[in-house]
Amino acid sequence: MKKWGFFIIIAILLSAFTKLPNLLEKDQIKEYSIVENGNIDLFPSEKQKNFKLTTKHIYNGDLLLVNNMFPIQENSIKSDIVNLAEHPKLTKEYALLNNDIKLSKEIGRKFSDMMAAAKKDGVNHFMISSGFRDFAEQASLYETLGSDYALPAGYSEHNLGLSLDIGSTKKTMYEAEEGKWIENNVWKYGFILRYPKDKSAITGIEYEPWHIRYVGLPHSIIMHEKKFVLEEYLDYLKKKKTITITIDQKVYALSYYHVTQNLTIQVPVNGQFEISGNNIDGVIVTSYLYK
């Protein structure tokens, strides 16, 4: 079996039982509250089942931290990378800088839905200028532009398939309505502005109003509320161990687990949970707490 085929199969197996239902949509987010519970039992025993975590889970998911300290592993790359120009249904609401831009198909759908919402708000001059880059493309970019303008292969979020650079066809993102809309609204759709103002000491990257990253709901809501970047958010979850967030009367629990070897945890019997590694030392389990 070819190496990439093996990685794709592993990714499918890791995600097979870890999908939350699509319960969170922008129009539903009217109110939310966050409770910091500490390490507590969240489910009655009859509504729990065993799930085995392994160290492989650390390196898969939407919350992977990628920076100059924590590079991407090859099996962390999204397995559904597509050329967006070949999927016109995904690009109806925005332009592409060129026909070579790639992205996770799943993230492309979520971005397209977000662009449709922006259009309803009268903001509709978006363009994707960069999406997924493989390691070879990132290495070439780093060699050409140098360390002031690019990161080495494996150290850029663009190597994951979860991040994209977007612009306006009218003005720069510093000035355009598109930039303002992104800063104020992406959290409602599971995206974050990855390198915001006044956080460069933490992220290591200067303010980039064009670079967004998918982390998923409800994570983007909590990060927005607490004004966290991803580094801060993962530290917060690790410290709190478990928190709950109520969104329009739907309750979600987020629990951090340190994983050094196989670890059996309790998850809902209904299967409504997601698992993401942090690309460092543990995983975050997000569960829908049904009654």
Verify that 268 and 143 share a domain, yes or no: no
Domain limit, last residue, from 214, 243, 275: 214
Verify that 97 and 134 share a domain, yes or no: yes
pLDDT tens-digit series, residues 156-198:
999 999 999 999 999 999 999 999 999 999 999 999 999 999 9
* Domain assignment present for 98: yes
* Domain assignment present for 71: no
> How far are the Cα atoms of 60, 143, 151, 225 from residue 160, in angstroms, in the given order?
10, 20, 13, 25
Report how many domains make up the chain.
Answer: 2
In the block, which residue shows the tokens 């499918």? 12
Verify that 182 and 86 share a domain, yes or no: yes
Verify that 86 and 195 share a domain, yes or no: yes
Label residue 28 by pLDDT band (50, 70, 90): low
Domain limit, last residue, from 158, 182, 214: 214
* Domain assignment present for 23: no
Verify that 191 and 251 share a domain, yes or no: no
Q: What is the CATH number of the domain that holds 233?
A: 3.30.200.180
pLDDT at res. 24? 54
Verify that 182 and 107 share a domain, yes or no: yes
**Which one of the listed residues 106, 208, 225, 232 is annotated catalytic?**
208
Active site residue 208: yes
pTM of this structure: 0.88
pLDDT tens-digit series, residues 211-248:
999 999 999 999 999 999 999 999 999 999 999 998 88
Nearest to 129 by CA among 82, 176, 75, 166: 166
* Domain assignment present for 12: no
The answer on pLDDT for 122 being more than 60 is yes
Q: For residues 56 and 75, what is the distance between their CA atoms, to the nearest angstrom? A: 9
Domain limit, last residue, from 214, 232, 262: 214
Q: What is the CATH number of the domain that holds 119?
A: 3.30.1380.10
Q: Contact, 219 vs 229, CB < 8 A?
A: no
* Domain assignment present for 90: yes
Q: With pLDDT > 70 as the criterion, what percentage of the chain qualifies?
A: 85
pLDDT tens-digit series, residues 46-87:
678 899 999 999 999 999 999 999 999 989 999 999 999 999
Verify that 239 and 191 share a domain, yes or no: no
Verify that 146 and 220 share a domain, yes or no: no
* Domain assignment present for 69: no
> Under 8 Å CB-to-CB from 284, ≥6 apart: which residues?
61, 63, 234, 237, 254, 255, 256, 257, 275, 276, 277, 278
Verify that 222 and 288 share a domain, yes or no: yes
Verify that 206 and 149 share a domain, yes or no: yes
Nearest to 58 by CA among 14, 21, 104: 14
Verify that 95 and 116 share a domain, yes or no: yes
* Domain assignment present for 202: yes
Q: Domain span at residue 262?
A: 31-63+215-291
* Domain assignment present for 200: yes
Label residue 3 by pLDDT band (50, 70, 90): very low
Verify that 245 and 264 share a domain, yes or no: yes
